[in-house]
């Protein structure tokens, strides 16, 4: 498999030329103090070095060895503890963390690029700092100052890691029926009892302590999701002076044997009267978790993008070198027995599809990250409110669409290799196996689609959607004539999405099944339209510069491919949505 190379040029293009993020940072005082374009470039450069040199080489060996469980704990594959220490010592665990507690303080638009790099290099490895960052986010937003002072510095430093314990054997999406209990103690702590499953990084040998965030219910909690509270439960209790004390009553009962991400420990965690402390107020646990969810769901989407990027890098290198048959128009490599397979139309179709989806995804994930930064740091209430509503709208799209396309891209990459793509030594089959989980965890993509259609579209009466639609129309209305080849199909796509959104809003009034029946295809239409906007923005940034170097010519060629060959997918998806829910209910349960 090709060595991973961080796509720094494309990241800088998206940040600096497409979105001009330095202008946004300058308008947000909290960010203006810590980052500018130069700093951002240096951060990404350094991240690329350690990730490409230290973490990427462990990807295949980590998959081959996997994690192992014993009564003493969980052991990660060879090289993982050393690589994690190197990553943590560089400050990368806390790259987006609050500087008041030792974090680097970078905006999400920067940490999103670092996330892409580490997950492209090694998805299993990337989950450990990702879960820690998510736990830190919830603590920083909702925990008491005492808890933040006690736990955040070591978590940002990577000395301690974090996990989030939500799912139980009987309760996945429906967290309102969890059974884990929290009993109040006289000293203000709580005794946590219950079992959690599918806990990423719940136990491992990378750090000296693991800080679990656990959803549980108090004895007098109201039924359902309104009765969920959040608790901080350390693996090892922390003394008043910050030193480590006794082992807490929390243990890993087993680890899962999985299709992919084998170097990531997915644990069954048992809490047997473990000591914990409440985060935020009683019965406010879901609100505290949802502070983290928008960031984490974008992060999972970025994992899909990252897997597609890694697959593309290997596929394009292979396609340039592998010789097989002659080009349809006659020999190209006349000095060889056959031509490189990159001359063949179908191979080009697959490579261009991967390239267009990856680069569109990078722009879209950065756009969503910028909305997160605006929502968090803007001092203008109306600006913050609009950004918050855009984040709510776009988060399920980012999670589901990026991961659906991540699987498509890795399958294309595997296909470019032919039979060699099915063989372990080339690495492409691992990417297909690894990326599959991204469509499932952090809320399945079906749940994301239902969230988009039900809560964000119908639930807001279309108000959230109007922000995005109006922005695209404003861009299209102000675009120069030179951009017409990109802007005209974009206008048609957003008009189609406007019409489809109106159809959904109207249909939901008379038949509640229409929301769920339409949701997946509706999200896909939304995603392809959003990518069309991203590609029009990138075309604007590249137009007129194609003579400067191949980068801009490549960007424009890929934009033309997207509009010609990928955006038209919206038409069949739209037809599926408008076919309605009736055909889904023609069979009785016994007839399946």
Tokens of 297: 């769901």
d(Cα 472, Cα 466) in Å, to the nearest integer? 10
* Residue 472: how many other CB atoms lie within 10 Å: 22
Q: Please tell me the distance from the alpha carbon of residue 359 to that of residue 551, in angstroms, as a whole number.
A: 12
Beta-sheet pairing, 73-75 with 160-165: unpaired
Q: What element of type H or E holds 163?
A: strand 160-165
- State how far the Cα of 108 lies from the Cα of 309, in Å rounded to an integer: 20
Active site includes 442?
yes
Residue 312 has what DSSP assignment?
A: H
CB atoms within 10 A of CB 310: 33
- On the 0-12 / 13-18 / 19+ scale of CB atoms within 10 A, 193 is middle
Q: Which tokens go with 402?
A: 């990026």
Cα(198)–Cα(479) distance, rounded to whole angstroms?
48
Quick check: helix, strand or coil at residue 385? Answer: helix
* Catalytic residue, candidates 168, 442, 514, 521: 442
Cα–Cα distance, 1 to 306 (Å, whole number): 15
CA distances 364 to 15, 109, 553, Å, are 11, 11, 21
Position of tokens 């039924």? 223
Give the C-alpha distances (Å, rounded to integers) separating 479 from 370, 466, 541.
22, 20, 12
- Of the candidates 480, 478, 493, 578, the residue with the CA atom closest to the CA atom of residue 527: 493
- Residue 250 main-chain phi, psi, to 5 deg: -135, 135
Distance from C-alpha of 182 to C-alpha of 271, rounded to nearest angstrom = 10
Our measurement of the distance from residue 30's CA atom to the centroid of its chain's CA atoms, rounded to an integer in Å, reads: 25
Query: Do the beta carbons of residue 255 and residue 267 sit within 8 Å?
Result: yes
Residue 120 CA to residue 466 CA, distance in Å, equals 34
Query: Please, are residues 151 and 213 in contact by the beta-carbon 8 Å criterion?
Result: no
The Cα–Cα gap between 51 and 125 comes to 10
- Cα gap 440→167, rounded to integer Å: 13
Q: 89 vs 94, 123, 550, CA distance in Å?
A: 10, 20, 37
Backbone angles phi and psi of 276, in degrees to 5: -145, 170
- Is 570 within 8 Å of 496 (Cβ atoms)? yes
Degrees, nearest 5: CA angle 131-137-141: 155
Annotated catalytic residues are: 442
């Amino acid at each position: 498999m090709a060595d991973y190379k961080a796509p720094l040029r494309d990241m800088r293009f998206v940040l600096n030329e497409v979105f001009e993020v330095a202008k946004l940072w300058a308008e947000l005082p909290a960010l203006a103090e810590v980052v500018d374009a130069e700093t951002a470039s240096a951060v990404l450069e350094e991240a690329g070095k350690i990730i490409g040199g230290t973490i990427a080489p462990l990807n295949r060996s980590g998959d081959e060895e996997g994690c192992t469980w014993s009564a003493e704990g969980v052991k990660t594959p060879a090289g993982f503890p050393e690589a994690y220490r190197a990553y943590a010592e560089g400050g990368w665990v806390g790259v987006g963390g609050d500087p008041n507690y030792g974090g680097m303080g970078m905006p999400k638009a920067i940490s999103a690029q670092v996330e892409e790099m580490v997950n492209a290099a090694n998805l299993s490895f990337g989950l450990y700092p990702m879960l820690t960052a998510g736990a830190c986010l919830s603590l920083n937003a909702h925990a008491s100052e005492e808890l933040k002072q006690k736990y955040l510095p070591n978590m940002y430093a990577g000395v301690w890691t974090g996990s989030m314990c939500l799912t139980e054997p009987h309760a996945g999406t429906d967290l309102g029926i969890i059974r884990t209990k929290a009993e109040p103690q006289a000293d203000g702590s709580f005794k946590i009892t219950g079992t959690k499953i599918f806990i990423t990084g719940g136990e491992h040998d990378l750090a000296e302590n693991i800080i679990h965030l656990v959803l549980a219910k108090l004895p007098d909690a109201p039924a359902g999701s309104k009765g969920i509270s959040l608790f901080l439960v350390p693996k090892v209790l922390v003394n008043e002076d910050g030193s480590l004390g006794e082992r807490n009553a929390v243990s890993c009962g087993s680890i899962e044997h999985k299709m992919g991400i084998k170097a990531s420990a997915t644990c069954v965690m048992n809490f047997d009267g473990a000591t914990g402390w409440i985060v935020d107020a009683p019965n406010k646990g879901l609100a505290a978790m949802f502070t983290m969810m928008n960031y984490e769901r974008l992060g999972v989407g970025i994992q899909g993008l990252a897997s597609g990027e890694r697959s593309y890098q290997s596929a394009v290198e292979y396609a340039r070198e592998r010789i097989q048959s002659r080009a349809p128009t006659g020999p190209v490599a006349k000095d060889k027995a056959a031509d490189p397979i990159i001359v063949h139309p179908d191979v080009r179709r697959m490579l261009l599809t991967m390239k267009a989806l990856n680069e569109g995804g990078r722009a879209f994930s950065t756009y969503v990250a910028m909305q997160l930064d605006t929502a968090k740091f803007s001092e203008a209430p109306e600006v913050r409110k609009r950004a918050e509503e855009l984040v709510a709208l776009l988060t399920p799209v980012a999670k589901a669409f990026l991961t659906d396309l991540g699987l498509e891209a890795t399958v294309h990459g595997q296909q470019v290799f032919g039979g060699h793509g099915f063989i372990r030594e080339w690495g492409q089959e691992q990417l297909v196996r690894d990326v599959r989980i991204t469509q499932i965890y952090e809320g399945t993509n079906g749940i994301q689609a239902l969230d988009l259609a039900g809560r964000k579209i119908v639930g807001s009466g279309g108000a959230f959607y109007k922000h995005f639609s109006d922005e695209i129309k404003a861009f299209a209305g102000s675009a120069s004539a030179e951009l017409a080849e990109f802007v005209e199909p974009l206008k048609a796509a957003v008009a189609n999405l406007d019409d489809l959104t109106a159809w959904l809003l109207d249909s939901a009034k008379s038949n509640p099944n229409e929301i769920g029946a339409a949701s997946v295809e509706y999200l896909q239409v939304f995603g392809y339209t959003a990518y069309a906007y991203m590609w029009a923005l990138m075309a604007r940034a590249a137009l007129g510069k194609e003579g400067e170097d191949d980068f801009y010519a490549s960007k424009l060629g890929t934009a033309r491919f997207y509009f010609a060959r990928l955006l038209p997918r919206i038409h069949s998806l739209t037809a599926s949505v408008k076919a309605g829910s009736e055909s889904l209910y023609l069979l009785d349960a016994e007839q399946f």
